[in-house]
Amino acid sequence: MLTRLGLWIRSNLLRRQLERDMQREMAEHLERSTARLVARGMSARDARAEARREFGNVTSLQEQARAERGWRWLYTITGDLRFAMRHYGKRPATTLTIVFVLATGLSISTALFSFMLSYSTEPPPGITRAADMVRLRGMVRSGGENVARPFTLDEFRAQQALADHFRQTAAWIDHNAFLGAGGDPERRTERGSATFVSEDYFSVLGVRPAIGALLAPRDFGTDAPLAAVLSHGAWKQLFGARADIVGRTVVVDGALATIVGVMPPRFSGVSTFDPIKIWLPLTAQSRIVPSVPRDAPLLRTAARLAPGVTLQQATAATMLVASRVSANAASLTPATRGSRTSRETALTDVVPLIAASGDPSFERDVRVMTACFTALGILVLLVTCTNVSALIAGLGIARRKEVAIRLSMGAARARIVRQLVTESVLLAVAAGPIALGVIWSMQRALTLFAPDIPITMRVSWPATLFTFGLALLVGMAFGVSPALHATRLSVASVLKESASMITASGTRMQRGLVVAQIAFTQPLVVGIAALLLIVFGAYQRQGFTPAADQIVSLKVRMPREASASALPPAQRAARVARLQGDSRRLRERLERTAGVVRVVPDVQGVTRLAAYGVHPADRVAGGNTSLIRMSAMRASPGFLDVMSIPIIAGSDFSGADTMRVASDGSEMAVIIGDALARELWPGVNPIGRRLVPLAEDLDAPETVRPPLVVRGVAEQNDDDPSAAHEGHRVTIPVRNDSTGALSFVMRTTGSAGPMMPTLRRVVAEEMPNVASIDARTLKDLQAEVRNAYTLVTMTLVVGGGLALLVAAIGLYAVVSLAVGQRTGEIGVRMAVGARASQIAGRFMRDGLRLGAIGLAIGLPLSLLGLRVLLSMPELLPPVGIGVVGVLAGAGVMLVAVLATVIPARRAAAVDPAIVLRGE
Amino acid sequence: MTALGQLVVIDLVRPLVPLTFRSRSAHVPAMSRDNTPFLPGTLDFIVLQLLQAEPTNGYDLTLRIQAITDDVLNVNAGSLYPSLYRLEQRGLLRASWADSDTGRRTKVYAVTPTGKKHLADQRKEWDRFSGALAAILRAT
């Protein structure tokens, strides 16, 4: 057996050598025969001829010899390939187009499928998959949907105690933080996140540091010095990727922590994906975020299953813990917790730790996203397949005559089919590496230009094989079908080419392909157009301020102090007074700085207000008197002025407004947007009119509900882009007792960029022990948002453009092949008196009719896609989607027309004399 | 030989032909001088037998077959070379380039140990077959 294998390998590896040997040997034989015959008295010429006759056909003999060596398959394939190359070489444009379309379509759909597959089957970036790695998800069932329920420390400890079920359990709390390099004289900070982790966190996730070490058990002591592990992004952006990082300090919300290690690129923990991130011991949470009580439910947990434990068993065990813990909590504090747990049951489930199995409240979104991406990938694949099919089928139809000739000369049907299959495979083989190259470069680009973006772009082989296999199959099917068809027709009729049946059946297939092409392209284009509209709408609602480079946001952080709630009242009051003094002093100092026009405290976040209605006495005819949803930002007097938001009626808040915001039922001033003013009080002056909270919403806990009186109307876009469901955005005065905050917005006379170092220096002088200074212009902040929008828009435009291009290529190919086939017919028509415009018109009408059928078929698909897209809660139905849908349809139609015009004109330019001579 | 006798012979010989070659209709059967075809598989047998006696090249082999059979079997190159390559591919022959008596470089074929074993098996089969054939001819 081994000897045989060796011989086979030898005969294939040393093929050239053996081939040479064979030819030498046969030549030798002929020479000796000739010599023998000459010796018998023949002339040299006769002897040579006789020797050849005796020997037989040398070529055929060599063929036989090769067959004996088992090379027949090799020669057949080489022959087929050579033929295919020649065939494609004669049609370079079509061939390049097919390869281009295949490569583009395959790379896009493979990238999409790969991304979706790794998202739904792999853990978050940077974590290696392990069968026993699970996530414990707490949730409550509320209104038919699961809402995430983070765990308390007690519940986590109880989960940790389930040693029979979990080998290791880890918990973490994510916290948005300002991070900066320790010892930076300018105290610059970046927004990032800090994750407080339990001891087993890193070992449960199975991750290793890239530099230094992970958190050691001694770092988890309550009094231990703060230790931190940096993400790769934080290391690069805060410390410029310096090598001597271990032992340096990092500032986290004003506290200093010593760096012990750096994690590898892309690892960003489990739940939040922030490139700038640090990990700190769970015990450090109370020191860095003292305001959060120790028993607050904030923990998320993950674990490694004990050997042999199933997900169901683990879920059952954690459910038991959940019910016990919530029962305890209810009995301890019935007033605060009882109402919640009586209505909603605390649940827990254990699921594999993969990127897609995150927060249970996002499950629907994840499903929608998966569906969208998969649908997009399938659409791209379908468009590619129809396109390639159209091109290959076109080529195949054009070759009917050739097929018929070969059949008539005795070629077996199987032989011809094999030839066509080889051709399709050749195309796929050419396009495959290009597509893989494109995917590879996308990956490289991602690694090079965005190494810290936590996105895995791993090429998944199942997805790749699936896409490539499908394209290959479709290509083959369409390559083979004309051959099968031609072999079924009578050879004579094909060769005569007068038979109308050939063109009839060919055109039917082509027509089908055109229709399919348009039907698949339309939803793609409509979907992309809708996404563009959504993005554009969101961009517009951002309300970019005009003089953004003259507005500075300055956030100053002082070193952490103990939580104010823990202090006795007298000390607390003293601290508030001190903070307010500091804030005022800093503000005054900044206002004295050259180039600064005005400094006001920044807004204190956004509060959701209760449901309001217009006071009965203030209602006017035509005004909205039903329930109004509002969310309010708390601003100081002058804030709107600094932000260059003009007040078009009434006035700004006064200092007195900030004093009168106690919850004693007295009225509070409000500044509303002009749109709301027009909605509530059309045509009358809204100043002084009142809004009152509505009784039906009184049990909503965290809302503010004093009666409101309109102080002013600001020219502002009152739609909040990120939270449309929160209703109109209004402004209420900031509380006087909270003005101790050290966040400001200021207005400068000129561009504020060059003033940043001065501003930082001023702050550092005024407050020598400042921990971090975060200063940036509104322009910079807006530029980040703009860049994000530009990126998304560009991606969509390029995607849509490619889809249209591919569709146009397909249409053009199909129509121009149809024209090419009907040249004879056109010639006859023109010879009997048809005008060129009539011929062109006929082809155009044909194209348009097919386009219309395609659009009609694609319409339900488009509508379905839009429905799915717009069912996502955070996406507002974009304005004018109907119009854009029609426009997108018209765009596809236009492409269809353009793809028809050129071949139609070519058809009209046919010279009947030449064509008829050819007939 | 009667027609029946020929049929019987062919049926008996068939097992001698290795399975792998049965489907290969490509090789042209060698002819004897009066154009009666060789029994399938016998050419390989003859080639092996002759080469075991003395390794030689393809041209000399054709001459030797003619000489030994007194020109009854005229094996042309069209049959001989495929047979040689086939046997070489199966590992029954080994080829090497050597200088001939006339001073030319020729490709000389020799039987490998596997080939010898194969030939011995073939001979046994042949003896059995020819015995059977003789019995049939005697009985009729």
Residue A799: pLDDT over 60? yes
Flag whether residue A3 sits within 8 Å of chain B, measured between CB atoms.
yes
Residue A222: pLDDT over 60? yes
Q: What is the structure's pLDDT at A880?
A: 63
Q: Comparing A702 with B124, which gets the higher pLDDT? A: B124
List the structure tokens of A316.
């059952």
What percentage of residues in chain A have a pLDDT greater than 90?
4
Q: What is the structure's pLDDT at A915?
A: 63
Residue A794: pLDDT over 80? no
| Partner residue facing B27 (CB), from A4, A25, A64 | A64
CB contact under 8 A, A65 and B91: no
Q: What is the structure's pLDDT at A777?
A: 83
pLDDT band (50, 70, 90) for residue A57: confident
Calpha distance A148→A358 (Å, rounded)? 9
How many angstroms away from the CA of B1 is the closest CA of chain A?
A: 30
CB contact under 8 A, B82 and A11: no
Torsion of CA A513, A519, A525, A531, to 10 degrees: -140
Calpha distance B128→B4 (Å, rounded)? 19
CB contact under 8 A, A68 and B89: yes
CB contact under 8 A, B107 and A26: no
Task: Report the residue of A15, A54, A64, A69 to disrupt the B interface, i.e. the one with the largest count of B CBs within 10 Å.
Answer: A64
ipTM field: 0.75
In this structure, of A400-404, A611-615, A700-704, the range with the lowest mean pLDDT score is: A700-704
Q: What is the structure's pLDDT at B120?
A: 93
Q: What is the structure's pLDDT at A738?
A: 56
| Partner residue facing A29 (CB), from B26, B59, B90 | B59
**Beta bridge mates, A744:** A554, A601
Scanning the structure block, which residue is given the tokens 């694949």?
A381
Q: What is the structure's pLDDT at A38?
A: 92
Flag whether residue B77 sits within 8 Å of chain A, measured between CB atoms.
yes
Q: Environment class of residue A696 by beta-carbon count within 10 Å: exposed (0-12), middle (13-18) or buried (19+)?
A: exposed
Express each pLDDT in A1-53 by its tens digit: 666 677 767 766 677 787 888 888 888 888 888 998 999 898 999 999 988 88
Express each pLDDT in A447-498 by its tens digit: 777 666 656 666 667 777 877 777 777 767 666 766 666 556 555 555 555 4
Q: What is the structure's pLDDT at A169?
A: 92
Express each pLDDT in A240-252 by its tens digit: 888 888 899 998 8
- B-chain residue closest to A18, CA distance: B85
Q: What is the structure's pLDDT at A340?
A: 44
Q: How far is CA A294 from CA A283, A291, A297, A654, A889, in A?
A: 10, 9, 9, 39, 58
Give yes or no for a contact between A844 and A818, defined as CB atoms under 8 angstroms apart.
no
Flag whether residue A29 sits within 8 Å of chain B, measured between CB atoms.
yes
> Of chain B residues 107-126, which have a CB less than 8 A from chain A?
107, 114
Calpha distance A337→A340 (Å, rounded)? 6
- B-chain residue closest to A21, CA distance: B107
Q: Comparing A75 with A560, which gets the higher pLDDT? A: A75
* pTM assigned to the model: 0.61
Flag whether residue B90 sits within 8 Å of chain A, measured between CB atoms.
yes
CB contact under 8 A, B82 and A65: yes
Q: How many helices, marked H, and strands, marked E, lie in chain B?
A: 6, 5
> Which helix (H) or strand (E) is A86 found in, with range?
helix A72-89
pLDDT band (50, 70, 90) for residue A645: confident
Nearest to A888 by CA among A385, A532, A558: A532
Q: How far is CA B59 from CA A43, B40, B50, B84, in A?
A: 21, 22, 13, 12
Calpha distance A753→A131 (Å, rounded)? 52
Q: Environment class of residue A754 by beta-carbon count within 10 Å: exposed (0-12), middle (13-18) or buried (19+)?
A: exposed
Give yes or no for a contact between A166 and A315, defined as CB atoms under 8 angstroms apart.
no
Residue A228: pLDDT over 90? yes
> Which helix (H) or strand (E) is A553 found in, with range?
strand A551-557
Q: What is the structure's pLDDT at A546?
A: 67
A2-11, A279-288, A832-841, B108-117: range with highest mean pLDDT: B108-117
pLDDT band (50, 70, 90) for residue B113: very high
Q: What is the structure's pLDDT at B33?
A: 45
| Partner residue facing B58 (CB), from A4, A7, A29 | A29
State mean pLDDT over A397-422. Answer: 75
Q: What is the structure's pLDDT at B12?
A: 45
Q: Please list every residue in chain A whose beta carbon sits closer than 8 Å to the beta carbon of residue B90.
A: 4, 7
CB contact under 8 A, B82 and A21: no
pLDDT band (50, 70, 90) for residue A506: low
- A-chain residue closest to B93, CA distance: A7
State mean pLDDT over A680-708. Answer: 73
pLDDT band (50, 70, 90) for residue A329: low
Task: Report the half-sphere exposure of A489 (CA within 13 A, side-chain side).
Answer: 27
List the structure tokens of A43.
């002339």
A363-377, A842-856, A868-882: range with highest mean pLDDT: A842-856
Q: What is the structure's pLDDT at A821?
A: 67
- A-chain residue closest to B77, CA distance: A55
Q: Comparing A399 with A854, which gets the higher pLDDT? A: A854
Q: What is the structure's pLDDT at A829?
A: 80
Express each pLDDT in A135-145 by its tens digit: 888 887 766 66
- A-chain residue closest to B98, CA distance: A25
Contact partners, residue A361, CB within 8 Å, separation at least 6: A139, A145, A146, A147, A148
In this structure, of A330-339, A597-606, A837-846, the range with the lowest mean pLDDT score is: A330-339
Contact partners, residue A760, CB within 8 Å, separation at least 6: A186, A187, A188, A773, A775
Express each pLDDT in A731-756 by its tens digit: 888 776 555 567 888 888 888 878 88
β-sheet with A596-601: strand ranges across: A596-601, A743-748, A551-557, A772-777
| Partner residue facing B107 (CB), from A21, A60, A68 | A21
Tell me the count of A-B CB pairs closer than 8 A: 70
In this structure, of A267-281, A473-487, A887-901, the range with the lowest mean pLDDT score is: A473-487
Residue A696: pLDDT over 90? no
Task: Report the residue of A5, A9, A10, A32 to disrupt the B interface, i.e. the one with the largest count of B CBs within 10 Å.
Answer: A32
In this structure, of A119-123, A365-369, A669-673, A836-840, the range with the lowest mean pLDDT score is: A365-369
pLDDT band (50, 70, 90) for residue A170: very high
Flag whether residue A55 sits within 8 Å of chain B, measured between CB atoms.
yes
pLDDT band (50, 70, 90) for residue A810: confident
Three-state SS at A433 = helix
Calpha distance A188→A380 (Å, rounded)? 46
What single-letter amino acid sits at A49? A
State mean pLDDT over A149-173. Answer: 88
Q: How many helices, marked H, and strands, marked E, lie in chain A?
A: 28, 23
- A-chain residue closest to B26, CA distance: A64
Q: Please list every residue in chain B whose beta carbon sits closer than 8 Å to the beta carbon of residue A67.
A: 24, 26, 82
**Beta bridge mates, A148:** A139
Calpha distance A22→A14 (Å, rounded)? 12
State mean pLDDT over B118-129. Answer: 90
Contact partners, residue B66, CB within 8 Å, separation at least 6: B73, B74, B75
B120: left (phi over 0), alpha (psi -120 to 50) or beta: alpha
Q: Please list every residue in chain A whose beta carbon sits closer than 8 Å to the beta carbon of residue B81.
A: 22, 25-26, 61, 64-65
Flag whether residue B58 sits within 8 Å of chain A, measured between CB atoms.
yes
What percentage of residues in chain A have a pLDDT greater than 70?
79
Residue A803: pLDDT over 90? no
Residue A259: pLDDT over 90? yes
Q: What is the structure's pLDDT at B106?
A: 87
CB contact under 8 A, A54 and B114: no
| Partner residue facing A7 (CB), from B76, B89, B106 | B89
Give yes or no for a contact between A647 and A714, defined as CB atoms under 8 angstroms apart.
yes
| Partner residue facing A28 (CB), from B24, B91, B106 | B106
Residue A685: pLDDT over 70? yes
In this structure, of A281-290, A496-505, A512-521, the range with the lowest mean pLDDT score is: A496-505
Task: Report the half-sphere exposure of A2 (CA within 13 A, side-chain side).
Answer: 0
| Partner residue facing A61 (CB), from B59, B81, B89 | B81
Q: What is the structure's pLDDT at A333?
A: 46
Nearest to A101 by CA among A799, A892, A810: A810
